[in-house]
Amino acid sequence: MDNQTETTVGRHRKVILFPLPYQGHINPMLQLANLLYSKGFSITIFHTNFNKPKTTNYPHFTFKFILDNDPDDQRYSKLPLQGMGAFARVFLFNQIGGDQLRHQLELELLAKDEPPVSCLITDSLWHFAQSAADSLSLPRLVLRTSSLFCFLVYASLPLLDDLGYLSLSDNNRLEEHVIEFPVLKVKDIKKMAFKRDNDAIGEAICNMVKQTKASSGIIWNSFKELEEPELETVLRDIPAPSFLIPFPKHFTASSSSLLDQDRTFFPWLDQQPPNSVVYVSFGSVAQVNEKEFLEIAHGLEDSKQSFLWVVRPGFVEGSAWVEPLPDGFLGEKGRIVEWAPQQEVLAHEAVGAFWTHSGWNSTFESVCEGVPMICSPFWGDQPLDARYMSDVWKVAVYLENGWKREEISSAIRRVMVDEEGEDIKERARVLKQKLQVSLKKGGSSYESVDALVAYISSF
Ligand code: UDP
């Protein structure tokens, strides 16, 4: 049986999924694809050649590469492949990709001997996809890969800008709470580092919000009990249905990893006592300078706790990997790897805390495993996630003042050693338990999967 036949036999409806080509977006979209496949849908993935996932890990899906097939097209072939500059592709394809996407969708709709297409599901940041889908009367759902809380803050960017928060220069007001979002401090808004106008990211976010509201439905990587007040607001403000599904509880993200995952440290981790190791990772995009890197290293060393530290090649500006570390830095207490199977690490009983950049996937994977966090957000949604985890659920310590070794070691010890840490761990355990309950028959997450399947089948 060829691949095409194998993926479609006995499957009566096809869903086309189109992730944003970055690790934190590809993971939940491919988890969603696996979930829908397990419910009987045929799956086609649209993807850019840039950051393409390992298709051999998904023999049950059909992949179509779109938007950047011409190696000579200078508009995208010259864009940076690493760091924040790589995001320029998103802005560009949102501007120029409409015709191509529409054409590709038309081919799918007309394809013979294949199941009919139910709907298109795109990352919410592919806002240009809404008009392409509309023009073909194809329902488009969005996958929003952040928290609901973050979406509501993003939806209020124009208001926050009008109120002067985005351009505030008065440093005396940084500790004030934001009246519109009382859990946030003014400095959290500043740390997002957005402007509304003359800023490609701000513009993309405003368009994302607009076209998410125009979509046929929103899928969130979350669960109801985690963000109940936010869900109420979303349901009040947006007519399309929302489905909250905790993807890490359905599938791991390992098969969609763009980097090879090191597993050689597991024999070492297996030997560590329960809750004794700090897992450290700052995601797939963030970078620090050499001075900050050394503060992290000294903070870890001074905490006197065992650690497993992911240092992605390119994480330290100007260095290939960990060259700036002092000789003999790694004793028996620590391991450094380039990339890890993060969900497995968080689920390991030796891991007692996660020092994270507070990207939503990392944050939510930690919640799913009941692991307390130490938060060092960089920008975007990260400061919002950090604040929500530390001040709403109190399952995290927020390192609010940058990279200072004394504060780092003290935050690690607060979670790992001090009495306060016991309370934080207990709250993280209770939150995980709420999630487990939601997954049982009749629970909110369980029902959400059923509702999504029924909804997609109804088109
Ligand atoms: N991740 C991983 N191995 C690592 C570090 C991260 O597999 O060593 C995965 C992690 O499990 C998560 C994703 O990469 O699913 C990072 O997404 P997140 O939203 O946390 O941050 P981003 O990379 O988008 O900043």
The 10s digit of each residue's pLDDT in 328-351 is: 888 889 999 999 999 999 999 999
- Ligand 1: which residue has its CA nearest to atom 5? 283
| Stretch 66-77: mean pLDDT | 93
User: pLDDT tens-digit profile of 172-214?
Assistant: 999 999 999 999 999 999 999 887 665 888 889 999 999 999 9
Answer yes or no: is pLDDT of 8 > 60: no
Q: What is the mean pLDDT of residues 158-174?
A: 90
Task: Spell out which residues line ligand 1, taking CB within 6 angstroms.
Answer: 23-24, 27, 253, 257, 281, 283-285, 310, 339-340, 342-343, 359-362, 365
Q: How far apart are CA 342 and CA 346, in angstroms?
A: 6
Which residue has the least CA distance to atom 13 on ligand 1? Answer: 24
Average pLDDT over residues 359-370: 98
Return d(Cα 11, Cα 115) in angstroms, integer. Answer: 7
Mean pLDDT for the stretch of residues 362-378: 98
All CATH 3.40.50.2000 domain ranges of the chain, comma separated, are 3-254+441-457, 258-436
Q: Which atom of ligand 1 is nearest to the CA of 253?
A: 15
- Rounded to an integer, the average pLDDT of 29-38 is 98
Residue whose CA is at the smallest distance from ligand 1 atom 25: 283
Which residues, listed in sequence order, are joined to residue 64 by a DSSP beta bridge? 46
The arithmetic mean of pLDDT across residues 26-50, rounded, is 98
pLDDT digits (tens, 9 = 90+) for 393-420: 999 999 999 999 999 999 999 999 999 9
| pLDDT tens track for 234-274 | 999 999 999 999 999 999 999 999 999 999 999 999 999 99
* Residue from 31, 220, 284, 381 whose mutation best tests the ligand 1 pocket (most atoms within 8 A of CB): 284
Atom of ligand 1 nearest to the CA of 358: 20
Confidence (pLDDT) at 378: 96
Q: What percent of the chain stands above pLDDT 70?
A: 97
pLDDT score, position 7: 47
Query: Looking at the predicted structure, is the pLDDT value of residue 6 above 60?
Result: no
Residue 10's pLDDT band (cuts 50, 70, 90)? low
Q: Which helix (H) or strand (E) holds 105?
A: helix 98-110
Pick the residue whose CA is nearest to atom 15 on ligand 1.
361
Positions annotated as catalytic residues are: 25, 123
Which residue's alpha carbon is nearest to atom 17 within ligand 1? 24
Q: What distance in angstroms lies between residue 341's CA and the mean position of ligand 1's atoms?
A: 9
Q: What is the mean pLDDT of residues 370-398?
A: 98
With the most atoms of ligand 1 within 8 angstroms of its CB, the residue from 22, 23, 125 to mutate is: 23
**Per-chain mean pLDDT for the chain:** 95
CA–CA separation, 15 vs 37, rounded Å? 9
Q: Rounded to whole angstroms, what are the CA distances from 402 to 354, 358, 376, 378, 406?
A: 17, 14, 7, 9, 11
Report DSSP letters for 10-77, one per residue.
Answer: T---EEEEE--SSHHHHHHHHHHHHHHHHTT-EEEEEE-STT---GGG-TTSEEEE-S---TT-HHHH
- Provide the pLDDT confidence category of residue 82 given band limits of 50, 70 and 90: confident
Contact by Cβ (8 Å): 361, 24: yes
Q: What is the CATH number of domain 3-254+441-457?
A: 3.40.50.2000
Instruction: Determine the average pLDDT of the residues in 22-37.
Output: 98
258-436 belongs to which homologous superfamily? Glycogen Phosphorylase B; (3.40.50.2000)
